[in-house]
Amino acid sequence: MRKFPSFLFIVLLYVLMFFYTTTKAPAIPPHPGARPLKVAVVVPASSTDQGWNQMGVDGLRELKDKWHLTIEVAENQGYGDIKPVLRDLARKGFDLIIAHASGYQTVTPEVAVERDVRVAVVENPAAVRPGLVSNYEGEAQKGAYLAGVLAAKMTRTNVVGCVTSAEVPDWNRMTVGFMEGLHSINPKINFLYNVIGEASYEDAIGGKRNTEAQIAAGADVIFGMGDGASFGIMKACEENRAKDGGKVWFIDVIGDKTGIDRKQILLASVLWNFDVVYEMMLIDIYSDRFGDDYRQTLENGGIELAVYKEIPSVARAAMKQAEEGIKNGRIKVSNIADTREMRSYMRRLFK
């Protein structure tokens, strides 16, 4: 494993290690180590998808100038065999390869061992290996809780839907947080839940079909978790009216789709800021502590709820009160990643 001289920087780096847990952007010198790092990110789809892939790539680009990084983006890699891509990046001498998809979580650690290269994987904390493999995940349930509060305040029909492209830990956590936010405002709300398919991240047609079914059942606010499938969810909200003749609001996750919101139905998004966890990794590389389990949270700035439309003051006040309650510990948002537990909890919450 490549090492970096640390005797000139050790005091500074321990200070940084303390501060990165409490602030989104720790101050660093122009060159925090012996030389700038080379970092690559591998994504399964387009780096301009306004969702998971783009936010993953943009998070690294956010740090490029600050950390003087040399970066490479390997996009549109799909979910097939990515070992050749990983090996090629290792051959090029990259100091860190970020495998930005849960579908890469098992093969990437294998290449890390094979080629002695640092890697970061998604949703596989069991793969963490000191000096070699790190894991990162979004604990976005608190941001989704705020989205649930917003949805409960904005629904006119008292029917709110959730459409998801998969039942993976990140999505399950957000489903639970969203449900709890809804329930905190109105326990009697009618909650609809549809899964597009197993790992149907890019299934825009399926996203549209499932969303239209929920709208037909009365939903006028849709919480969509889909990556590429989100475009189908959004299109269904654009093309259909709620049962009362009004708009169907769409609450997105991961990225910001305001640039394509032609019908003005995009109400909000639970944004994921990946630069937060990437920066933790960089600090740990320079302090020779790489190989950890990193989390994006509401508290560290890795997760936030962005609201794009003017909303009633009562809704804004409810969201503010909920956020304060989460941050001061008065409101406890459940962290449920397992699908079976999530579904069981759903049945108990909305009987």
| C-beta separation of 226 from 163 below 8 A | yes
Q: What is the mean pLDDT of residues 322-344?
A: 96
Weakest mean pLDDT among 25-34, 92-101, 236-245, 319-328: 25-34
Q: Could you give the CA distance from residue 278 to residue 284 in angstroms, rounded to a whole number?
A: 10
- Domain locations in the chain as residue ranges: 10-137+275-296, 141-272+312-349
Enumerate residues 6+ apart whose C-beta is below 8 A from 250: 222, 224, 233, 234, 237, 265, 266, 267
pLDDT of residue 117: 97
Tokens of residue 29, six digits: 């010198």
Q: Could you give the CA distance from residue 99 to residue 89 in angstroms, rounded to a whole number?
A: 11
3-state secondary structure of 271: strand
Yes or no: is domain 10-137+275-296 CATH 3.30.1360.20?
no
Same fold, 10-137+275-296 and 141-272+312-349: yes
Tokens of residue 60, six digits: 């690294």
pLDDT of residue 8: 40
pLDDT of residue 1: 41
Q: Could you give the CA distance from residue 132 to residue 289 in angstroms, rounded to a whole number?
A: 10
Tens digits of residue pLDDT in 97-148: 999 999 999 999 999 999 999 999 999 999 999 999 999 999 999 999 999 9
The rounded mean pLDDT for the chain is 91
Tens digits of residue pLDDT in 50-78: 999 999 999 999 999 999 999 999 999 99
Tokens of residue 80, six digits: 């097939």
Spell out the CATH class of 141-272+312-349: alpha beta
Tens digits of residue pLDDT in 203-237: 999 999 999 999 999 999 999 998 889 999 999 99
Tokens of residue 106, six digits: 């098992």
pLDDT of residue 34: 64
Angle at the Cα of 176 from the Cα atoms of 212 and 321, rounded to 5 degrees: 105
Q: Is the pLDDT of residue 31 over 50?
A: no
Tens digits of residue pLDDT in 257-299: 999 999 999 999 999 999 999 999 999 998 999 999 999 999 9
Strands of the sheet containing 249-254, edge to edge, are 190-195, 159-164, 221-225, 249-254, 266-272, 303-307
Q: Is the pLDDT of residue 186 over 50?
A: yes
